[in-house]
Amino acid sequence: MSNKIKASHILVDKLTKAQEIRDVVTRKNFAKFAKEHSTCPSRKKGGNLGEFGRGQMVKEFEKVAFDMKIGDISQPVKTKFGYHIIMRTK
């Protein structure tokens, strides 16, 4: 298991919106949806969070991201910031 991974995400404030986006988002259009819908400053980079290790993200986010395979897109993940759709990129 790797010490560091790379991921992108889309952050929204409502579960219903997160579910709607998750139903139509793909690897090819993920950055476009992040730029259009995410409330995180990473939206400017298509949701790209870059490389991070364990302990750098909130626990709920980290657990899902590290359990994913490269290319996977998560179901909505609730954290104190809202609802994340995560795509693992490395």
> What residue segments make up the domains of the chain, in order of their start?
4-88
Would the pLDDT of 1 be above 60? Answer: no
Would the pLDDT of 2 be above 80? Answer: no
Find the radius of gyration of the CA atoms of the chain: 12
Render pLDDT for 45-90 as a digit per residue (tens, 0 to 9): 999 999 999 999 999 999 999 999 999 999 999 999 999 999 999 9
Q: What is the pTM of this model?
A: 0.96
CATH of domain 4-88: 3.10.50.40
DSSP per-residue string spanning 16-69: HHHHHHHHH--TTTHHHHHHHH--SGGGGGTTEEEEEETTSS-HHHHHHHHHSP
Would the pLDDT of 6 be above 90? Answer: yes
